[in-house]
Amino acid sequence: MLVSATEMINKAHEGHYAIGAFNINNMEWIKAILLGCEAKKSPVMLGVSEGAGKYMCGFDTVVAMVKNIHDSLGITVPVALHLDHGTYEGAKAAIAAGFTSVMFDGSHYAFEENLAKSKEMIELAHSKGLSIECEVGGIGGTEDGVTSNGELADPEECATIANLGVDFLAAGIGNIHGKYPADWAGLNFDRLAEIQKSTNGKPLVLHGGSGIPREQVQKAITLGVSKVNVNTECQLVFADATRKYIEAGKDLEGKGYDPRKLLAPGTKAIQDLVEDMVENFFGSAGKAE
Ligand code: 13P
């Protein structure tokens, strides 16, 4: 059974470790992440962006696929199926489809509108027993080939959204999605500490978890980050392992072109990365025992 993320995140916050929220793209991603977390006895969140949801033929397909893969693999660790960066309409659709956790990202609205919509969505998610994440400020990334340095959320705005009863809060502390530029300024720990204080210790979410130096993420976890989102790093290890397989000509040996063989090294690379991250990076290994 898939679960809400509230309990796993609250336990992580109290225990000063983090839950990995790994984005999924297809069946291979789901299997690799679930098997990796089961092997390490780690709770986990599977993140689904609206784009990836469309790619996987809609939220109903995603829910059915994740539930059935979860059951057929005999997964025993807590697993939450979470909408990543949901729009107002998208969050409602994910809730209706059976997701167990949603993010409503109203950060592109003026603050008053973000506040009103977040309030509505928090009430809706909680009325159905789901956990919910909202976002304050913005998280940078690459747009038109230009990578921004990452915004800093306003601690007072964070406090206002935290007081609505959101379960965990995404707040910019200089983090960005995708690859970090060479001149990236790093995470802003002073701002993180201010936000943790202004929100009275609300569990915080670190987006853009790929490529941040590990000691910075670990320091952020000690300062109140309880969920770390990872997407790009899984994509990079998958692509790298697949390229090596093809460059070695293995797809041309015997039935090496069979997708079950062709996609196996990439899938294993994702599982290995997830196992390494939950054990050596987030500290969630063994927390599902
Ligand atoms: P990365 O792709 O940088 O890991 O970011 C993932 C993320 O934050 C998803 O919301």
**Which ligand 1 atom lies nearest to the CA of residue 85?**
10
pLDDT, tens digit only, all 289 positions of the chain: 999 999 999 999 999 999 999 999 999 999 999 999 999 999 999 999 999 999 999 999 999 999 999 999 999 999 999 999 999 999 999 999 999 999 999 999 999 999 999 999 999 999 999 999 999 987 877 655 656 667 899 999 999 999 999 999 999 999 999 888 888 889 999 999 999 999 999 999 999 999 999 999 999 999 999 999 999 999 999 999 999 999 999 999 999 999 999 999 999 999 999 999 999 999 999 999 7
Catalytic positions, written as ranges: 84
Ligand 1 pocket test, candidate residues 105, 210, 281, most atoms within 8 A of CB: 210
Compute the distance from residue 80 Cα to the ligand 1 centre, in Å. 17
Ligand 1 pocket test, candidate residues 142, 147, 230, 273, most atoms within 8 A of CB: 230
Nearest CA to ligand 1 atom 5: 208
Compute the distance from residue 19 Cα to the ligand 1 centre, in Å. 14
The predicted structure's pLDDT at residue 261:
98
Site residues for ligand 1, CB cut-off 6 Å: 23, 47, 84-85, 177-178, 207-210, 229-233
Nearest CA to ligand 1 atom 1: 208
Confidence (pTM): 0.96
DSSP assignment of the chain: ----SHHHHHHHHHHT--EEEEE--SHHHHHHHHHHHHHTT--EEEEEEHHHHHHTT-HHHHHHHHHHHHHHTT--S-EEEEEEEE-HHHHHHHHHHT-SEEEE--TTS-HHHHHHHHHHHHHHHHHTT-EEEEEES--B-EETTEE----B--HHHHHHHHTTT-SEEEE-BS-BSSSPPTT-----HHHHHHHHHHTTS--EEE---TTS-HHHHHHHHHTTEEEEEE-HHHHHHHHHHHHHHHHTTGGGSTTTTSHHHHTHHHHHHHHHHHHHHIIIII--TTTT-
Compute the distance from residue 229 Cα to the ligand 1 centre, in Å. 5
